Structures are given as C-alpha cells and as structure tokens.
Amino acid sequence: MAYVGGKGNCFTRVIGAMPRHTVYIETHLGGGAVMRAKRPAPRQIGIDADERVIACWRERGAPCELVHGDAIAFLKQFQFTGGELVYADPPYPAEVRSGSYRYRHDYREEDHAELLELLASLSCHVLISGQPSRLYNEKLIAWRCMEFGSGGRRGGRRELLWANFSEPLTLHEPAKAGATFRDRERSKRRLSTIQRKVERMGAAERTLFVEWLAATYPGHVKRLENEIA
C-alpha cells in the first residue's frame, strides 16, 4: 500500500519522537508505515475511512485493532485515560499538494479545522504529521514543531511533525531517536562503550556511579520508577 504522503521514508523520525504510551491510536492509517515499524504498545488501534485500506490490512494481518470509519467520530467517542498516544497523518490540505491526486476519502478545509481543534482538546499525547500550510501553522502555533525531509537520502519534501508535549524524558523507542541513521549508529556505539565500562566496574564503583546518575538525572529516574511500578 504505497500512499501519497505515506511515511515510508520518515517513519523512524516519527517513532523516535514518541513518548512512552500504553495505547497507540493511528487515526489515518493508509499504508501505516509508522504502525508497521513501531514497537507495539499493549493496545493499538488503526482507523481509516477507506474500506479498501481496511480490507488490505485484514488480508495481510494487522498489528492493531482495525476500525473502518471516520477519525473524528472515533476520537469523539473514545474514553481517554491519559496513557494514549494519538498519531494523525491526515490527507494533505489542497494548498500543499504538488499534483492533482485525490484520496478516495479526502478532507475539505473545514474537516482539517475540525480535526485540529479536536486533537488540540484531547487529554493525552498527540503527534500530527503534515507539511507547512497556512491552516496548520495557524492552528498549531503553540505546539512543538519538528522538521525533516521525507525523501530519505534524496532529500525531498519538508515534512513537519507537531507535538502537544515537550521533549519527552522517556521515549517509546529510544533507539530510533536521532536525525539520521549515522546519528543512531553513533549513539548505539557510545552506549555500548559505556555499558562495557559499567560492566567492568566493581560493586562499590557501580553503586557510586548509579548514585551519581540518580542525583544528576532525578526526573529520568522518577519517570522510569513510575512506569515500572
């Protein structure tokens, strides 16, 4: 399922920005590049208004509950408890499209506005993919905005990812954080150097090291303790 606006080239960046969550809701599933690549959460839900998209996922087996329906209607009736992460990748607004393509189910300007207002009202973490456009820039002005190219090594379009939360202390998949493959490999190497050093320490030295970590990064430790409890 190749999609115009599919996240096949930049799904790692989206996943790398995800905070820890227990319920993952992808509201405009399409080919679901992010859904397929992310580490599954205990509960995952994928929604799409196009019955062909849903049928395709049913044939191939989906890593999520599938909902054939409208994203806004689904979000309005869902009982949020706070542990959810909603990821929305709606059809691009007409003003940013380079071609004349249309989705079988598309959005008008007022649908975009309603979706953004609803997403802004949710009491959970929300990530929204899109391209710079008047409406999105205006409605999401208070949100944190990350920018990256979506064309892999070939560069390509500017892709924006808006978050209604500040940079999370605990990520869902820390190994996928980092701007490029090289960044992620470098950080993997740095981490394994530190791990080898810690493993070589004696008990007293390791205790001192752990105490130093806890004193220096109390926020991290508290969040991890809460998540484990």
Ligand X SMILES: C[S@@+](CC[C@H](N)C(=O)[O-])C[C@H]1O[C@@H](n2cnc3c(N)ncnc32)[C@H](O)[C@@H]1O
Residues forming the site for ligand X (CB under 6 A): 3, 5-7, 28, 30-33, 47-50, 53, 70-71, 89-91, 103, 105, 107
Q: Tell me the closest approach of the beta carbon of residue 146 to ligand X, in angstroms.
A: 16
Q: Which of 87, 96, 95 is nearest to 159 (CA)?
A: 96
Say how far apart CA 180 and CA 22 lie, in whole Å: 27
Residue 188 Cβ vs ligand X, minimum distance, rounded to whole Å: 25
- Complex with ligand X: residue 32 or 93, whichever CB lies closer: 32
Pick 23 or 47: Cβ nearer ligand X: 47
CB of 119 to ligand X, least distance (A): 13
Residue type, position 136, single letter = Y
* Residue of 37, 34, 23 lying closest to 65 (CA atoms): 23
* CA atoms within 13 Å, Cβ hemisphere of 50: 18
Residue closer to ligand X by CB (options 82, 152) is 152
Instruction: Tell me whether strands 23-26 and 84-88 are parallel, antiparallel or unpaired.
Output: parallel
Smallest separation, CB 178 to ligand X (Å)? 20
Residue 156 · residue 15 · CB < 8 Å? no
Within 8 A by CB and 6+ apart from 173, the residues are: 15, 16, 18, 38, 39
Burial class (CB in 10 A: 0-12, 13-18, 19+), 135: middle
Q: How far is the CB of 135 from ligand X (least distance, A)?
A: 16
The torsion angle over the Cα atoms of residues 59, 64, 48 and 88, rounded to 10 degrees, is: -140
- Residue closer to ligand X by CB (options 15, 33) is 33
By C-beta, is 121 or 195 nearer to ligand X? 121
Beta carbon of residue 212, minimum distance to ligand X (angstroms, whole number):
42
Judged by beta carbon, residue 74 or residue 165, the one nearer ligand X is 74
| Residue whose beta carbon is closest to ligand X | 30
